[in-house]
Structure 1
Amino acid sequence: MIEVERVMTLDHPLRDVVGFLADFSNAELWDPGTITCDRVGTGGLSVGCEWRNVSEFRGRRTELLYRLVRFDADHLTFVGHNKTATSTDDMRFEEHDGRTRLTYRARIEFNGLARLATPLLKREFDRLGDEVSERLPQAVDRALRVPPSGGGHPQ
């Protein structure tokens, strides 16, 4: 099993950050490996919602079906499966003075023969964790940016 953890501070209220990240389709904007992430089904976001995620890792594409397994005001957990691996994205949130502290933990467990590659892949996943910690705050900023008042023109 490989586990990567990063802590980020986002300049937005917790409720807004959780709302953005609860829609796993937005992984296209913040996860460097994600090529597409499409919601399966319709309706509001709740535990049990699923997304079909196509990612590229080390030049190979893979598809996982992710499910939202925990949806609390301060905690989200998504679990993705395919025949090769189980991937868990766990996000815990704390609000301080209108800003949000996000503890992001990604865990991947390989199945079968793929498990043998686990020690060799740790460095790659650490690098991806670093990229997430750069891209995720930028994606949140772009998504939650409030347009300036007065018709959108700077004063």
Structure 2
Amino acid sequence: MIHVVRTMLVSRTMRDAAAYFADFAHAEEWDPATVSCVRLDQGPVGPGSRWRNVSRFRGRTSELSYRLDVREVDRLVFTGENGSVLVTDDLRFTPVSADSTRLTYSATFGFKGIARLAAPFLRKEVDRLAGDIADALPRVTAR
């Protein structure tokens, strides 16, 4: 299992930041590894909403099914899964000022089957990916 945490400042109110990130389709904008992310259901975004996310990791493309598990005023939790990995993204929002929010982004990667053997070798790449997100996210949310 690999766990990474990044904390960054976003130029949005806590309410606006949480609403933006609740729609996981926006991962196309803030996650440099995401190739596409499409919502699979309709209606208001809430617990149970689902997305198909295609990402590029280590030069390979993989598809994960994501679900929003928790939607609170100051927290979002998504679970993404395919045959090789279970990913939990936990986003926590703390107001800093009237128009800025501290976002603490935690991701846990639990590898399945034979992929578990590769986990120790993937830590560096997962850390790089988390760093890329931390670099991109504040720029994207300032728009």
1:74 maps to what in 2?
74
Counterpart-to-counterpart distance in 1, 2:50 and 2:3 = 22
The amino acid that maps onto 1:116 is L
What percent identity do the matched residue pairs reach?
46
The amino acid that maps onto 1:117 is A
Point out the more displaced range, 90-99 or 113-122. 90-99
Q: Which has the larger radius of gyration?
A: 1
Counterpart-to-counterpart distance in 2, 1:96 and 1:31 = 23
Residue deviations 1:41-88 (CA, integer Å, cap 9, x gap): 110011000000001111111101000000000000000111111011
Counterpart-to-counterpart distance in 1, 2:72 and 2:64 = 23
TM value normalised by structure 2: 0.97
The amino acid that maps onto 1:131 is D
Counterpart-to-counterpart distance in 2, 1:126 and 1:91 = 17
2:62 maps to what in 1?
62
Per the TM alignment, residue 96 of structure 1 is displaced from its structure 2 partner at its CA by 2.1
Counterpart-to-counterpart distance in 2, 1:130 and 1:64 = 21
Runs (4+) of structure 1 exceeding 3 A deviation are none
Residue deviations 1:1-56 (CA, integer Å, cap 9, x gap): 01110000112210011111000000000111110000001100110000000011
TM value normalised by structure 1: 0.90
Counterpart-to-counterpart distance in 2, 1:86 and 1:44 = 25
1:25 maps to what in 2?
25
1:85 maps to what in 2?
85
Equivalent residues of 2:10, 2:137 under 8 A apart: no
Counterpart-to-counterpart distance in 2, 1:81 and 1:123 = 21
Counterpart-to-counterpart distance in 2, 1:140 and 1:38 = 19
The amino acid that maps onto 1:121 is L
1:109-124 matches, cutoff 5 A: 109-124=110-125
1:102 maps to what in 2?
103
Q: Where does the alignment leave 5 or more consecutive residues of structure 1 unmatched? A: 143-155
Count of residue pairs brought into register by the alignment: 142
Over aligned residue pairs, what C-alpha RMSD do you find? 0.7
Point out the more displaced range, 97-106 or 69-78. 97-106
